[in-house]
A and B are shown apart, each in its own frame.
Chain A
Amino acid sequence: MTAIVDYDSGNIRSVVNALERLGEDYVLTADPAVIAAAPRVLLPGVGNAAEAVSKLRARGLEPVIRRLRQPVLGICVGMQILCRDSEEDDAQGLGIFDTHVRRFPADPEAKVPHMGWNRLENLESKLLRDLPPQPWVYFVHGYYAGLCPDTVATCTHGAVRFSAALKYENYYGTQFHPEKSGDTGEKILQNFLHL
């Protein structure tokens, strides 16, 4: 059973649908007790990182997210708010991943937001096992997490190489959307369900 943290962080329908396709039981919840007791926790997020993290705090969910010992997966902005901070409206994150989130520079050869399919490189996590070489996944983001010791996959957009996936202890994060990344994305979600 997976708890999907429901904190009004934008569209979570696609994450729900992906778990439905995989036949995984889930609960949409903002109840700290339910989240703490779930075997796995999924933290989605779309839109503005500063807004997302303030909504999480307004629901009193920061302490419970910090204390989790089961596998946790932050997706997109859900990953970014687990980083130290973000240039997006000076958001202060939870600091689980030891990196900063910055805005992509203007680059005529690399449009912002970074939108569409791109390849993962330097994969090194059980979350990303049994995938094709340099697998394609789907991204939509204007800000990126810098490379750091927690980086477990990289991706390149224009001149910037960034963290496409992060891992620290039981916390995982993907900048891309596994729920929209075809068979590769389904495999990654399945890996998460079997960590």
Chain B
Amino acid sequence: MVAKRIIPCLDVRDGHVVKGINFEGLREVGDAVEMGVRYGEEGADELVYLDISASQEERRTFVELVSRIALRLNIPFTVGGGIRTVDDAARLLDAGADKITVNSAALADPALISRIAGRYGSQFVVCAIDAKRIDGVWRATTHGGTRLTDRELYSWASEVEERGAGEILFTSMDHDGTKAGYACEVYARLADRLRIPLIASGGAGSAEDIAEVLTTGKADAALAASIFHFGEIPIPELKRMLRSRNINVRI
């Protein structure tokens, strides 16, 4: 049986992994390549690198960084942030990324998903959806949850699948950063509707939360950032705990 995956997420700016702490701005937590290699050695199943560059200049550095990551890592990795065109995706593929994520650009132009999947295969395209609940309706957002779109989460997820995305990475903006657990009911409902794998993101505060989203939440993978970066939950320990709950993980 295919294992449930544990995926550290690394936000990258200017070659460094950064993390916003309590609205006090970005703190540098390490070198992007070295951190990735270490997570790989510790048993991470995949990695996600998100480019949060502020300028075109920095974006060019990111492509170079992707090729350095690809040279060192012996597990799959996904990259995202600022991908607007098939050519953007192609540059990252050529640099050695195994998958890319699209988010805002797919909302603006849903056919982008089909174009990238048509060229490089569905396995290469992860569609990220950031949604929040407004008056009882989950709506897709852009710009880190600050801009609402008129897309409703469940129908957008189904459309994304129809258009050829290979996986969906759903972040609940209501849970992201709270460390109070994932939006498990929403994941379970999404997983029931989708035939493609679902990656859960946003809200992990404990190993228990991760166990929960992989069981009752029916997610195929759990993604988290700060609990890994700050050593709160070492991956080997997390995986032993998940295994003890009869969750199928790679150890």
Contact = CB atoms under 8 A, between A and B. Distances in A.
A116 B74 contact: no
A132 B160 CA distance: 39
Interface in A1-37: 10-11, 13-14, 17-18, 20-21
Given A116-B45, A118-B2, A181-B74, A10 B120 contact: yes
Given A17-B71, A182-B40, A113 B123 contact: yes
A182 B167 contact: no
Interface string B109-127: 0000000000011110000
A114 to B, nearest CB: 6
A186 to B, nearest CB: 6
Contacts of A112: 195
Contacts, number: 82
Nearest to A137: B250
Contacts of B71: 17, 20-21
A180 B166 contact: no
Judged by DSSP, the binding face of B is loop
A47 interface: yes
B197 interface: yes
A46 interface: yes
Nearest to B99: A140
A124 interface: no
A183 B74 contact: yes
Interface residues of A, number: 35
Interface string B62-95: 0000000011101110000000000000000111
A140 B123 contact: yes
A21 B1 contact: no
Main secondary structure of the interface of A (DSSP, over half): mixed
Query: What size tier do the contact residues of chain B reach?
Result: 20 to 34
Nearest to A14: B96
Contacts of B148: none
Interface in B165-201: 166-167, 195-197
B8 to A, nearest CB: 15
Interface in A74-111: 106, 110-111
A30 to B, nearest CB: 18
A171 interface: no
Contacts of B197: 111, 115-116
Contact of A180 (B76, B122, B167, B250): B76
Contacts of A13: 70, 93-96
B135 to A, nearest CB: 32
Given A111-B196, A117-B45, A47 B3 contact: no
Contacts of B195: 106, 111-112
13 contacts: A13-B96, A14-B70, A18-B74, A106-B195, A111-B220, A114-B2, A117-B3, A117-B45, A117-B250, A118-B2, A118-B3, A136-B250, A138-B75
Interface of A: 10-11, 13-14, 17-18, 20-21, 46-48, 106, 110-118, 136, 138-140, 156-157, 177, 179-183, 185-186
Q: Which 7 A-B pairs have the closest CB atoms?
A: A13-B96, A136-B250, A117-B3, A117-B250, A116-B2, A140-B123, A118-B2
